[in-house]
Amino acid sequence: MWRLDRGRPLILLVHRPRYDDWSFPKGKLHDSDADLRACAVREVREETGTDVDVGPLVGDSEYRVTRKGRAARKVVTYWLMRAEDGVEGFCPNDEVDAVRWVDPDVAPSVLTYDHDRDVLRQAAPLLARAVDGTPRSSGDVRTDPQLTHLALGVSDLDASVAFYSDFCGMVLVHKRESGGVRVAWLGDPAAAACGGEGDFVLVLAEGLSPNAPLGPFAHLGFAVPSRDAVDDLAARGRGDGILALAPTFEGPIVGYICEVFDPDGNVCEFSFGQSLGRHAPLS
């Protein structure tokens, strides 16, 4: 599955909790399926909640699996399929509990199996031709730079991921380790629920020199839905000994805020009524 995002292609990967793996949507042939192509369309709809336009045949992937303690041969047939929109119809379930739209260049680092990376290589020229032949709207291509991430060196990646997940409501969308450096990407939960990281992620890296803590003015800002949420976070911060600024009203632009320290001493601000973020006032 693929779609265009500002003129660039993204492909869809699914996470299966039973195997804790990232792969492509797929499934087994049912008696009700007219053929393998119909099976593929049905399985994609069931696993991702969206319909697709089926493109060219990519080919077969053959590998060995273990069934009931015995080795078996498995063959999966793939087609290139375009989704006009995202996966707004996706509902996490026992079979697939998460989906992600990723850049084709990033996908190999997310995919769990080499045979899926082989499928991606097979599909690459077909995807390039499909993208080249897709009409573009004026909004597809950005010519201005786009802010995509903030990167911080941290002393304890697990502690930082736990803090930003617990205090800030961010979700882990990517994790990797290479050359003694552990990296995690944290994104917006609303974007993750629709199968992507969103337009901005917080990148945390352990194994490099931690940066000097943000502060006293430099900080990360998070919008919350109410004054009570600000008060609750301040109370939690006070209880944990990490409160940097007690709740205070800073005027109609900045709003009602508090601040806490993350595990490396970076200042995180929580605001209600600020003119930024999805909890910003309507007027």
User: Helix (H) and strand (E) counts for the chain?
Assistant: 6, 14
d(CA 114, CA 266): 39
d(CA 115, CA 27): 16
CATH code for the domain of 232: 3.10.180.10
- 141, part of any domain: no
**128 shares its domain with 172:** no
**41 shares its domain with 120:** yes
Q: Which of these, 104, 3, 100, 96, lies nearest to 53 by C-alpha position? A: 3
**122 shares its domain with 189:** no
Write the pLDDT tens digit of every residue in 195-219. Answer: 455 578 999 999 988 788 988 899 9
d(CA 25, CA 1): 8
Looking only at Cα atoms, what is the longest distance across the chain?
68
- 229, part of any domain: yes
d(CA 8, CA 6): 6
Whether the CB-CB separation of 54 and 81 falls below 8 Å is answered with yes
pLDDT of residue 283: 41
What average pLDDT score do residues 246-254 get?
90
Cβ neighbours of 32 (radius 10 Å): 8
CATH code for the domain of 71: 3.90.79.10
DSSP 13: E
What average pLDDT score do residues 188-195 get?
57
**47 shares its domain with 71:** yes
* Cut 0.75: pTM above it: no
* 273 confidence band (pLDDT: 50, 70, 90): confident
Q: Kindly state the helix (H) or strand (E) to which residue 157 belongs, with its residue range.
A: helix 157-166
pLDDT of residue 257: 95
SS3 per-residue string spanning 222-247:
EECCCHHHHHHHHHHHHHHCCEEEEE
- 231, part of any domain: yes
Which residues form the domain of 157?
Answer: 147-211
Write the pLDDT tens digit of every residue in 2-57. Answer: 998 877 889 999 999 888 899 999 999 999 999 999 999 999 999 988 889 999 99
- C-beta pairs of 172-181 under 8 Å, 24+ apart in sequence: 173/100, 173/197, 173/201, 174/110, 174/201, 176/109, 179/207, 180/207, 181/205, 181/206, 181/207, 181/208
Strand partners, 154: 206
- 140, part of any domain: no
**162 shares its domain with 217:** no
Q: Kindly state the helix (H) or strand (E) to which residue 258 belongs, with its residue range.
A: strand 256-261
